[in-house]
A = this chain, B = another copy of it.
């Protein structure tokens, strides 16, 4: 139990995270910069780099803290429904997080506090007759689908909010060549409306059904 050596720390990781949360609550996500956060704490900017690897690390920590507070829904007894409920909880929690798209590129995003969702999905798949390996495949597919949905959707929302120009895709679709791209020409009119629908749940159910049917033998 020798006392620790070296210069005593002036701030701690916990303090930094708490200050970051307070700063975000007060001034918004745009104001969360390394320098401003350091100023808030009364330390030099570079000091933070002794407690955090980089800014992404900071954001991941904040998300982790947030994940602890996700209300844990009652999981239904039916294993297939358990997968669905856990996936939807994961999706909705992440979708409510600002700037989530920047973080979802990190694969080790899931801290201990959110592992119960992963466990529910993997366990549900095994209870549906999957081998452990197949269950992991099911979860990974759900994770990919969820990450993609949130990423694309978050960006689209941001685009609508900050950009006044028309969406490039919409312009392209309006001038389609019906002879070369008949299917797109047929849906071009309604494309903008249809692509704003929320189809996450529908797609999720389809994916889970398809995977379970393939893995455990259809019929």
Seen from chain A, the residues whose Cβ lies within 8 Å of a Cβ on chain B are 101, 104-108, 110-112, 115-116, 118-120, 122-123, 126, 132-133, 135-137, 140-141, 143-149, 151-152, 154-156, 159, 167-170, 172, 176, 180-184, 186-187, 190-191, 194-195, 197, 199, 202-203, 205-211, 213-214
Contact = CB atoms under 8 A, between A and B. Distances in A.
A152 B150 CA distance: 13
A136 B214 contact: no
10 contacts: A106-B155, A107-B152, A107-B155, A110-B169, A110-B172, A122-B183, A136-B190, A145-B145, A145-B148, A148-B148
A110 B195 CA distance: 15
B137 A143 contact: no
B105 A195 contact: no
A154 B181 CA distance: 31
Contacts of A108: 167-170, 172
Copies in the complex: 2
B184 A118 contact: yes
Contacts of A183: 119-120, 122-123, 126, 135
B137 A194 contact: yes
A195 B132 CA distance: 12
A50 to B, nearest CB: 16
Pairs A-B, 8 closest by C-beta atoms: A148-B148, A210-B210, A123-B183, A206-B210, A144-B148, A147-B148, A108-B168, A108-B169
Centre residue among A111, A120, A143, A169 by max chain B CB count within 10 A = A169
Nearest to A165: B53
Given A115-B176, A147-B148, 8 more contacts: A104-B151, A108-B170, A122-B183, A122-B187, A123-B183, A137-B194, A137-B202, A144-B152
B145 A141 contact: yes
